[in-house]
Amino acid sequence: MSIEVWLYPLIGGALIGLSASLLLLFQGRIFGVTGIVSGAFFTKDRAWRVSIIIGLIMGSVLVYLVKPDFFNYQFKIPVYWMALAGLLVGFGTRLGSGCTSGHGICGLPRLSMRSLAAVLSFMFSGAITVYLFKHVFQIY
Amino acid sequence: MNIVINFLIGSLFAIGLSVSGMVNPQKVIGFLDFFGNWDPALVFVMGGGSND
């Protein structure tokens, strides 16, 4: 296996886990990105959430400046499809109380049964969607 | 002070996500594509994230 397949994901995952642990340590909060973004809009406790969001953007910009290869990919679907998909993700993650970061990265290591249920259901429905769109309808 | 720490924590998360390759939608779709060329990278991301 080439290092792109396992080493970069492993290092990246460790950094994600480290940042989630640091947030729990300093802020006592779970690093759920969709929850942080919606909280920045819909709660009054926004300062820490907004600083994380700005950090997320600046961190990506930094990686792009140092090694743009990490962002060297093309979107194969039209923008309005992505907007629709984003809307569904936003609705679903609020309904399910979290996304990949909150339930996957933070919930599973805490042995949260609610997070396990969420991860299994979004992975399963994601796999079905990819199967349908790629292998049955052959759209993607 | 808190604002600075949270900014740095957010940056660290974004650096991790970019390095892991999961900013690329094709990597995520590759992981979910169990009946095509399955890409196990997300397993390593979750594994790396859980072992801190």
Q: For residues B42 and B51, what is the distance between their CA atoms, to the nearest angstrom?
A: 14
- Domain boundary among the residues A32, A50, A73 is at A73
Amino acid, single-letter form, for residue A22? L
- Domain boundary among the residues A73, A92, A115 is at A73
Say if residue A15 is in the same domain as residue A68.
Answer: yes
The enclosing H or E element of B6 equals helix B2-20
Q: Which band of pLDDT confidence, cut at 50, 70 and 90, is reported for residue A113?
A: very high
Q: State the pLDDT at residue A76.
A: 77
Q: State the pLDDT at residue A45.
A: 94
Tens of pLDDT, residue by residue over A59-91, are: 999 999 999 999 998 877 889 998 999 999 999
Tens of pLDDT, residue by residue over A1-30, are: 677 678 999 999 999 999 999 999 999 999
Say if residue A117 is in the same domain as residue A84.
Answer: yes
**Which residue among A4, A22, A127 sits closest to B9, beta carbon to beta carbon?**
A22
ipTM for the complex? 0.92
Tens of pLDDT, residue by residue over A23-55, are: 999 999 999 999 999 999 999 999 999 999 999
Q: Residue A58 pLDDT more than 90? A: yes
Say if residue A12 is in the same domain as residue A49.
Answer: yes
Say if residue A68 is in the same domain as residue A128.
Answer: no
A 19-78 residues with CB below 8 A of B? 19-23, 26-27, 31, 33, 47-48, 51-60, 62-64, 70-71, 73, 75-76
Say if residue A119 is in the same domain as residue A132.
Answer: yes
Query: For all residues of chain B together, what is the average pLDDT?
Result: 90
Q: Compute the average pLDDT of residues B12-21.
A: 96
Say if residue A84 is in the same domain as residue A123.
Answer: yes
Say if residue A56 is in the same domain as residue A78.
Answer: no
- Domain boundary among the residues A34, A52, A73 is at A73
Number of domains in chain A: 2
Say if residue A19 is in the same domain as residue A35.
Answer: yes
SS3 A29: coil
Say if residue A2 is in the same domain as residue A64.
Answer: yes
List of chain A residues whose C-beta atoms are within 8 Å of the C-beta of residue B8: 55
Q: Which band of pLDDT confidence, cut at 50, 70 and 90, is reported for residue B50?
A: confident
| Assigned token pair, B48 | 């790396």
Domain containing A33 equals 1-73
Q: Residue B1 pLDDT more than 70? A: no
Say if residue A5 is in the same domain as residue A37.
Answer: yes
Q: Which band of pLDDT confidence, cut at 50, 70 and 90, is reported for residue B52?
A: low
List of chain A residues whose C-beta atoms are within 8 Å of the C-beta of residue B15: 12, 15, 59-60, 62-63
List of chain B residues whose C-beta atoms are within 8 Å of the C-beta of residue A75: 25
